[in-house]
């Protein structure tokens, strides 16, 4: 290497997984590589010796500074770069690094680090800056047992030293991946060392900040918040970690359920000091959304997408989740009855993250595939490449949930024609065929699921119900025998056996816990309601009603509503009204049930009361306005029967009909029905 000599130092322990990658990334620019091992029991030392002869094994003394200072004592170069064994240097930044050490005027640099971590089952990246690159001076020494620092030492030796930020130099850090944290027990180790350091020096704000971070990582939120607030009260707001401190405080309030305090803190502290921070607006949107402040949530999410490029030391995470932001904006647009904008945001979500199935599900729901199957497929094909067989399976699931059963079957067939065959496909197709009364094909499809598969009991359970309804008792008994033999769902087996025998049972009669039996009973009731087998429903209810403290009118009402038995839904909701006349959701669904039966006066009474008691959302206002249009048309129709020669009345009726407000059919709400 020409020019200034760069010494690269590592303090490592049990880093065999990443160390070779780390050392390979720096071997061509390092004048020397110094590796200090603190007691590895894996192949770390062996790997290190493949790259350097300066490998030292020392005793670990619960002090990272001592280990780093040991490495500094071995340095012979002009500049020092410290890396961890689970990091690597981004090779694209090597020219910038060489320029800094050969021509830069700073004494040291905070360089960019990209932290890889896991959230929601996928890997995300969070940028930060950290002081790792500095000129060598034997007087510069690290201090602090953990999250060790050297800047104070540099400034003490050289008060005029210039410390700069070099975001064009980047290291990649894998140590925050869940498997690494668990494997190395980092949280427990770090907490122990930091508590020891804080006890020794209670006013070291940086140590207390990092202690709060460790508490936060293991969900000790009250302790984390206590440390963070202590630091905030005393810290210089120019300190480089303050933007991260603000985010952690907000997250603590949010996760502790103190949403109002989270919003106050964002508005009064965070926004006042860092108004350009992208995470601020993401978290503000999240908090406002949960508080029902949907306009503010919408504006905040949009702002998080439009902030200018952020300094790395802000450590932003959430404003980079564009797929999540677009999805929330889509749901909020739906809430505000703007379907076109909602669709646009959901499409943007899928372009950012093709596996964002929740956004695809919302697109399909808006398209109403049960009523518009051809248009739905035409619209999807115009925007997406549907040739992926895995996507076809996802579409099958979504269409099944939307009760668009022919489309679900079509997607399953397409997936199988593309070479994908699995138990979920056979289950979706088989259940869809059952729902459309194609019984022979359904039975064949469900019987393709092997006994060792997790979906086997579900398939056999549905076949049992089919045979039970058809009074084919021997075949039903065979299905029950199959479920028992599989042994994967004893609660389902017990429920079906009780049903077959027609026994009336209470909690004391159950072999399985009541909490595992009731979900099976609820699924049974839904299956029977969807099938339209109301006599069989009453027989089943007689078997299990003693398991309930009282009639589950809300469950039954919602199921009748979902499957368009509005007369039955009305009866259940009216029973609920006798128990609690102020529940806005019950009022809303009762009103919609009356409307579906053309009982407009009753519908208006209940919908208006729902609006007054909590369902004050754009959709309810919108629907109520449409209801008044229907009422006006009906009144005018009655008037025209009495006065058929009244042309003005006829014109007014036609004008209303020509300008009817579009409303969705009777469905349970998806987006924020009640505020």
Report the chain (675 residues): mean pLDDT per 10 consecutive residues.
Answer: 86 94 96 97 96 96 92 97 96 95 94 80 76 96 81 90 92 74 66 89 92 90 97 92 94 96 98 93 96 96 89 79 94 95 97 92 96 95 89 96 97 94 95 97 97 96 97 96 96 97 96 96 95 93 94 94 96 90 88 96 96 90 95 96 94 96 64 42
Q: Is the dihedral of CA 258, 259, 260, 264 positive or negative?
A: positive
Q: Name the DSSP class of 168.
A: E
Contact 194, 224 (CB under 8 A): no
Residue 92 burial (C-beta neighbours within 10 Å; 0-12, 13-18, 19+): exposed
In the chain, which segments carry CATH 3.90.550.10?
Answer: 1-180
What is the SS3 assignment for 531?
helix
**E strand intervals along 446-543:** none
Those residues with Cβ within 8 angstroms of residue 367's Cβ, 6 or more apart along the chain or in another chain: 375, 376, 379, 380
Residue in the structure block whose two tokens are 């089952």: 121
Nearest by Cα to 171 from 79, 119, 97, 101: 97
Query: In sequence order, what are the beta bridge partners of 117?
Result: 124, 176
Query: In sequence order, what are the beta bridge partners of 164?
Result: 109
Contact 381, 414 (CB under 8 A): no
pLDDT for the residue numbered 667: 53
As its CATH architecture, domain 1-180 has Alpha-Beta Complex (3.90)
Those residues with Cβ within 8 angstroms of residue 82's Cβ, 6 or more apart along the chain or in another chain: 8, 9, 10, 11, 68, 71, 132
In the chain, which segments carry CATH 1.25.40.10?
Answer: 566-658
Helix 534-544 to helix 514-531 angle, to the nearest 10 degrees? Answer: 170
Helix 490-501 to helix 456-469 angle, to the nearest 10 degrees? Answer: 10
Token pair of 347 as six digits: 């499409």
Q: Which CATH class is domain 566-658?
A: mainly alpha
Nearest by Cα to 314 from 364, 376, 255, 245: 245
Query: In sequence order, what are the beta bridge partners of 171?
Result: 89, 113
Token pair of 499 as six digits: 């049903």
What span, in angstroms and rounded, lies between the C-alpha atoms of 470 and 442? 14
pTM of the model as a whole: 0.82
What b/e readout covers 479-516, taking b as 16+ CB neighbours within 10 angstroms? bbebbbebebbbbbbbbbbbbbeeeebeeeebeeeeee
Q: Is the dihedral of CA 156, 61, 85, 122 positive or negative?
A: negative
Q: Which CATH class is domain 257-319?
A: mainly alpha
What span, in angstroms and rounded, lies between the C-alpha atoms of 4 and 134? 12
- By DSSP bridging, strand 108-119 and strand 163-176 are parallel
């Amino acid at each position: 290497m020409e020019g200034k000599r760069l010494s690269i130092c590592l303090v490592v322990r049990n880093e065999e997984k990443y160390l070779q990658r780390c050392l390979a990334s720096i071997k061509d620019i390092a004048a020397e590589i110094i590796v200090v091992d603190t007691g590895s029991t894996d192949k770390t030392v062996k790997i290190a010796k493949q790259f350097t002869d300066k490998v030292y094994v020392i005793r670990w003394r619960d002090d990272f500074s001592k280990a780093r200072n040991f490495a500094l004592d071995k340095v012979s170069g002009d500049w020092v770069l410290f890396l961890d064994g689970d990091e690597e240097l981004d090779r694209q930044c090597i020219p910038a690094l060489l320029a800094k050490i050969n021509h830069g005027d700073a004494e040291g640099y905070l360089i960019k680090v990209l932290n890889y971590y896991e959230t929601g089952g996928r890997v995300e990246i969070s940028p930060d800056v950290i002081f790792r690159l500095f000129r060598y001076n034997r007087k510069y020494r690290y201090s602090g047992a953990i999250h060790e620092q050297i800047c104070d030492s540099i400034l003490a030796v050289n008060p005029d030293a210039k410390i700069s930020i070099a975001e064009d130099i980047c290291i990649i850090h894998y140590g925050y991946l869940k498997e690494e944290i668990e494997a190395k027990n980092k949280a427990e180790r770090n907490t122990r060392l930091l508590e020891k350091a804080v006890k020794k020096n209670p006013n070291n704000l940086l140590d207390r900040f990092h202690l709060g971070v460790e508490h936060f990582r293991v969900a000790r939120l009250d302790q984390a918040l206590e440390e963070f607030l202590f630091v905030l009260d005393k810290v210089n707001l120019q300190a480089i970690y303050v933007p991260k401190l603000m985010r952690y405080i907000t997250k603590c309030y949010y996760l502790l359920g103190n949403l109002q305090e989270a919003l106050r803190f964002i508005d009064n502290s965070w926004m006042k000091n860092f108004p350009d921070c992208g995470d601020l607006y993401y978290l503000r949107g999240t908090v406002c959304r949960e508080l029902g402040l949907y306009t503010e949530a919408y504006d905040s999410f949009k702002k998080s997408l439009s902030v200018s490029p952020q300094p790395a030391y802000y450590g932003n995470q959430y404003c980079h989740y564009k797929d999540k932001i677009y999805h929330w904006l889509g749901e909020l647009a739906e809430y505000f009855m703007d379907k076109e904008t909602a669709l646009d945001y959901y499409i943007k979500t899928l372009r950012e993250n093709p596996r964002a199935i929740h956004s695809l599900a919302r697109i399909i729901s808006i398209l109403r595939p049960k009523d518009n199957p051809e248009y739905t497929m035409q619209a999807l094909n115009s925007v997406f490449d549907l040739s992926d067989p895995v996507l076809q399976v996802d579409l099958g699931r979504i269409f099944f949930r939307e009760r668009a059963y022919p489309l679900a079957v079509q997607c399953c067939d397409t997936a199988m024609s593309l070479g994908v065959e699995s138990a979920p496909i056979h289950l979706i197709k088989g259940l869809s065929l059952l729902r459309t009364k194609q019984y022979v094909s359904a039975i064949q499809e469900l019987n393709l699921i092997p006994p060792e598969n997790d979906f086997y009991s579900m398939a056999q359970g549905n076949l049992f119900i089919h045979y039970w309804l058809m009074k084919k008792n021997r075949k039903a008994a065979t299905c029950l025998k199959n479920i028992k033999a599989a042994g994967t769902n004893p609660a389902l087996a017990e429920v079906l056996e009780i049903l077959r025998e027609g026994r009336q049972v209470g909690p004391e009669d159950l072999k399985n816990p009541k909490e595992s039996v009731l979900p099976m009973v609820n699924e049974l009731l839904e299956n029977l309601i969807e099938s339209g087998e109301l006599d069989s429903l009453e027989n089943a209810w007689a078997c299990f009603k003693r398991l309930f403290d009282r009639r589950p009118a809300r469950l039954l009402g919602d199921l009748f509503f979902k499957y368009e038995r509005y007369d039955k839904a009305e009866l259940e909701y009216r029973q609920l009204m006798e128990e609690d006349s102020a529940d806005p959701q019950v009022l809303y669904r009762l009103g919609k049930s009356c409307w579906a039966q053309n009982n407009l006066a009753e519908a208006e009474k209940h919908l208006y009361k729902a609006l007054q008691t909590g369902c004050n959302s754009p959709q309810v206002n919108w629907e109520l306005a449409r209801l008044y249009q229907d009422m006006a048309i009906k009144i005018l129709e009655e008037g025209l029967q009495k006065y058929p020669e009244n042309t003005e009345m006829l014109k007014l009726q036609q004008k209303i009909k020509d300008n009817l407000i579009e409303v969705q059919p009777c469905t349970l709400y998806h987006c924020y029905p009640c505020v």
